[in-house]
Amino acid sequence: MKKLFALTLLSLFASGSAFAAANETTNPQQDKMKACNASAGDKKGDDRKAYMKTCLSAKPEKKESKMAMCNKKTAGMNKDDRAKAQSECMKAS
């Protein structure tokens, strides 16, 4: 009976430690909240609320595709030069 009680206590302690370790990791929303809090600085009251609302609801900018970037670089060129320049642009890193 004492062994069963000791094993039960040991398993409860082990599961509690695992639960605590799992809670130490952060998710992207928590990271975003930390960044917004840091950038809010000394703002107070309604100014802070408005800033936090816009900061937390902001979506990250999409990275421009390589094709769109090459199209912008070759705009205004004649057909043959444009085709060659786009080919070289797409091959480049």
**pLDDT tens column, 19-50:** 555 567 778 889 999 999 999 989 999 999 99
With respect to residue 4, please indicate whether it lies within any of the assigned structural domains: no
With respect to residue 2, please indicate whether it lies within any of the assigned structural domains: no
Three-state SS sequence of 37-91: HHHHCCCCHHHHHHHHHHHHHCCCCCCCCHHHHHHHHCCCCCHHHHHHHHHHHHH
Q: Using one digit for the tens of pLDDT, what is the confidence trace for 38-88?
A: 999 899 999 999 999 999 998 877 888 888 999 999 999 999 999 999 999
With respect to residue 7, please indicate whether it lies within any of the assigned structural domains: no
Which range of residues forms the domain containing residue 86? 62-93
Same-domain pairing of 73 and 91: yes
Domain count, the chain: 2
Q: Give dist(CA 31, CA 33) in Å, integer.
A: 5
Confidence of residue 7 (pLDDT cuts 50, 70, 90): low
- Report pTM: 0.41
What's the distance, Cα to Cα, between the start and end of the chain in Å? Answer: 69
With respect to residue 8, please indicate whether it lies within any of the assigned structural domains: no
